Amino acid sequence: MRVVLYDDTCRQEFSLGPLRLGLTHSWIWGASLFKSLGRVDRYAGVKTWAEAFDFLKECGQNSTISSLEYWGHGKWGEVRVGCERLRISSFEESHPHYNGLLALQRCLSAESTLWFRTCETFGGDLGHAFAQRAADFFNCRVAGHTHIIGPVQSGFCMLEPGQEPYWHREQGICEGTAKSPQKALWSTFREPMTLTCLGKLPQDKWERERSKQSVA
């Protein structure tokens, strides 16, 4: 089962004549395109993490989720639905997100990939910690970005369980430090590990980049 989730709360961010549109509308279009191309089996927009976890639990009832992409907003070490933040503290047993994350864990396998197509999530110290915790918790590959992403998406990184992050802690940061980032770089084709919003998981390119950065 290949699944795409997107944030359904970003609907009125700018005006186009009489219409009020937002990023949600572009994600709806993108998900429907992926479905028509046979690249995804199911997709849905969600307004809360609880809604997301319920949908994913339903998807994983009869088959393993082999690929899960989440399209929404992010920040260093965070993935957001609306104003609700998923971050490293969400993996603590006392956190309200924990049971939903545990249910998702059961829907994945060691061969699954969880891709956060969100801005900055894997950047800085918080991004390193979040990526490592997520990979170990879900026991599968997790992917994310260190830059502000849009139609062009730079700073792609992917981590496997038990690994330490290989990308530079300040990758994608243009103001501040890895410990205290203030501003992220926009994605461009000059930045590392860049793909487009229509790009597939860049497995071969990622393996070459990981090898190169690990040696450096």
Q: What is the pLDDT along the chain (216 residues), one digit of tens a residue?
A: 999 999 999 976 665 556 666 899 999 999 999 999 999 999 999 999 999 999 999 999 989 999 999 999 999 999 999 999 999 999 999 999 999 999 999 999 999 999 999 999 999 999 999 999 999 999 999 999 999 999 999 999 999 999 999 999 999 999 999 999 999 999 999 999 999 999 988 766 656 666 656 545
DSSP string, 24-70: HHHHHHHHHHHHHTTS-SEEEEESSHHHHHHHHHHHTSSS---EEEE
Measured CA to CA, the distance from residue 101 to residue 105 in angstroms comes to 6
- Tokens coding 48: 């809360």
Q: What is the Cα 37 distance to its own chain's centre?
A: 21
Residue 68: strand pairing partners: 3, 114
Domain ranges of the chain: 2-215
Q: Please state whether the predicted TM-score (pTM) of the whole model is above 0.85.
A: yes
Measured CA to CA, the distance from residue 55 to residue 43 in angstroms comes to 9
Give the three-class secondary structure for 87.
strand
